[in-house]
Amino acid sequence: MIQTIEASPDEIYDIELEHSLLEANAKLAKENRSLLDRHGIASIDVMGAIGSGKTTLIGRLVERLKDRLGVAVFNGDATISSDADLIARQNVPVVQIATVNGCHLDANLVGKALRKIDLTKLKLIFIENIGNLICPAEFPLGSKARVVVVSVTEGQYMVRKHPHMFLGADLVVVNKIDLASAMEVSIEDLIADVHKLKPDLKVIRTSCKNGVGLDELTASLLAI
Ligand code: MG
Ligand code: ZN
């Protein structure tokens, strides 16, 4: 159930790239979106730092959803396939998008992944972006919603350090809340930082350790 696509050197764009390439990405993102819309598939771009818990969170959501509707997962990772392997154990279609040394996914790579799987049976695709809170914000993928995962283990100032990520988000997950007191991080202050940037942005608190917030997150994603 696991397939891999890999970026060739001419497909690796970076943040310093010219405006025309960002435009090219935006055009490809629109094409991805219309392909997904034609098939009635919602896709969710999951962004967040390395170690924020994106893969585990997606795994928990797939567990809750896979018997109810067709779910697939694209795992963006620079090289190794450990995250894709973990999700593939749940017997859902998985495409590993290996960016080689690219620090974000782009619409071209996601378009290639979309051509790798049978879209007719799917209703939802999770796209795990590369662990990076800077340039994924510049690269829409054609997803229906962008979710940012921020964990208390990343410290108190993660949100205010990366405003563009949160300004472009449709939903924020504050993850690993079971570790908040050990980390001496205030969840309330993290959420206040989110709302200073975007007052109406929905924030859900989760812990994959004890399951808190996962049903609420599942329901919110299904409503997107
Ligand atoms: Mg991961
Ligand atoms: Zn990048």
- State residue 105 phi and psi, 5-degree precision: -85, 155
Structure confidence by residue, pLDDT tens digits, 75-122: 998 777 888 888 989 999 999 999 888 899 999 999 999 999 999 999
Ligand 1 geometric centre to CA of 125 (Å) = 15
Nearest partner of 76 among 40, 101, 41, 42, judged by Cα? 101
Closest ligand to Cα 133: 2
Q: Which residues have a beta carbon within 5 Å of ligand 2, which is an ion?
A: 103-104, 135
Structure confidence by residue, pLDDT tens digits, 113-149: 999 999 999 999 999 999 999 989 999 999 999 999 9
Rg (CA), the chain: 16
CATH class of 16-223: alpha beta
Global pTM?
A: 0.91
Q: Which residues have a beta carbon within 5 Å of ligand 1, which is an ion?
A: 54-55, 83
Give the CB-side neighbour count of residue 193, counting CA atoms within 13 A.
21
Ligand 1 geometric centre to CA of 182 (Å) = 23
Ligand 1 geometric centre to CA of 181 (Å) = 24
